[in-house]
Structure 1
Amino acid sequence: MWYVIQTQTGGEEELVGLIGKIISKEYYEECFCMNRECVRKTEKGQEIFLRPLFPAYIFVVTDHPKRLFLQLKRVPRLTRLLSDQEDSFFSVSEEEQIFLENVQNEEHIVQRSLVEVDDEGMIVKAYGPVGRYRNAIVRQRLRKRYVCIEQDFWGKKRKIYLGIRLREDGKG
């Protein structure tokens, strides 16, 4: 099952590396931070960079959350396996896991989705993650090259930002 570890914002990748060095793989299958592609304009054109999809959270796949929790105490960073009680840990629900698997690639990166817009600037076609969840879009910022979708996560509605590229960008 997938579980969520909370850390400090900006320290996600560092924590993934520390867990990989300190905790034996017998306690977990995989530990990762999900990133999303973003774009910004520069003098040379567009620059693509990565940002965490869920700042301050990393994911760990394990069948032994209690054993992993004990091992996390060895990691010299503020970490917390999200839980609602002392001995009950938040696993990612099956629906949440399907969503996460649908939007990311094998490197745990949510790539920008190709979209087509009409004359009024409304998305009429979308591919990739945005195409799969087009009905969940609550905000779109074409100039900033992202959309915001709303999805149930960890017991409440969360806004999730997904990068887009327009057909006219010349990359589709």
Structure 2
Amino acid sequence: MALYVIQVIGGKEQHVCDLVKRQLNDMIEDCFVPRREVMRRAEGQWTTIRETLFPGYLFVETKEIQHVMERLAHIPAFTRLLGVGDEKVIPLSQDEVAWLTALMKPLDKVVEMSTGVIEGDQVIVTDGPLRGYEALISKIDRHKRLAFLDMRMFGRTKTIKVGLEIVRKHA
């Protein structure tokens, strides 16, 4: 079983994923859109919302990628399997799959909010999926409660935003 990435039109990820599940159900193990929990301020209150982790992409798990490629052409939406060049489709590497699996909850495929502290110039994540992955954090936006991770994904380095609340900072 391998995990492949399908590019779709941004904002249509869940709709296309539902179409894929309906029309390719016999040849896929799973189809999902990874999400992240982030904090947003609305009317003076901070609330947790869920956003798409990789806008414009969905993930499909299958053994039969050639059949999936053929049947994707019949789905009434833009879909393109990611790979090398135009003809070779490659699955996510073991490192990429391990990283996604470590951060996401297995059932709902969500990267939950993390909490942490800043001691001097070092970030220490005390709770959440980023715990133990502090070295991957390249930048923090404390006001928006976000951490930016530079990850090797889809064959290139991508900056990924995930929720991180810093509860205190020591100089």
State the TM-score, normalized to the length of structure 2. 0.89
Post-superposition offset of 1:123: 2.3
**Is the alpha carbon distance of 1:126 and 1:150 closer, same or farther for their aligned partners in structure 2, counting shifts above 3 Å?**
farther
| Residue aligned with 2:101, SS | helix
| Residue aligned with 2:88, SS | coil
- Aligned partner of 1:48 in structure 2 is 48
- Aligned partner of 2:11 in structure 1 is 10
The correspondence of residues 22-41 of structure 1 with structure 2, limited to 5 A, is: 22-23=23-24, 25-41=25-41
Post-superposition offset of 1:113: 0.7
Residues 115 and 167 in structure 1, CA contact (< 8 A), matched pair in contact too: yes
| Aligned amino acid, residue 147 of structure 2 | V
- Aligned partner of 1:165 in structure 2 is 165
Deviations 1:147-166 (A, max 9, x none): 10111112221111110134
In structure 2, stretches of 5+ residues that fail to align are none
Residues 66 and 87 in structure 1, CA contact (< 8 A), matched pair in contact too: no
Q: What RMSD, in angstroms, separates the aligned Cα atoms of the two structures?
A: 1.8
Aligned-residue sequence identity (percent) comes to: 25
| Residue aligned with 2:17, SS | helix
- Aligned partner of 2:117 in structure 1 is 116
How many residue pairs are counted as aligned between the two chains? 166
**Is the alpha carbon distance of 1:57 and 1:133 closer, same or farther for their aligned partners in structure 2, counting shifts above 3 Å?**
same
In structure 1, stretches of 5+ residues that fail to align are none
Aligned-partner Cα distance in 2 for 1:141–1:29 = 37
The structure with more strand, counted as a fraction of residues: 2
Aligned-partner Cα distance in 2 for 1:73–1:83 = 16
Aligned-partner Cα distance in 2 for 1:33–1:54 = 8
4+ runs deviating over 4 angstroms: none
Aligned-partner Cα distance in 1 for 2:8–2:134 = 30
- Aligned partner of 1:128 in structure 2 is 128
| Residue aligned with 1:130, SS | coil
Aligned-partner Cα distance in 2 for 1:133–1:167 = 18
| Aligned amino acid, residue 33 of structure 1 | V
- Aligned partner of 1:149 in structure 2 is 149
**Is the alpha carbon distance of 1:85 and 1:141 closer, same or farther for their aligned partners in structure 2, counting shifts above 3 Å?**
closer
Post-superposition offset of 1:44: 5.1
The correspondence of residues 33-112 of structure 1 with structure 2, limited to 5 A, is: 33-43=33-43, 45-105=45-105, 106-112=107-113
Residues 20 and 31 in structure 1, CA contact (< 8 A), matched pair in contact too: yes
State the TM-score, normalized to the length of structure 1. 0.88
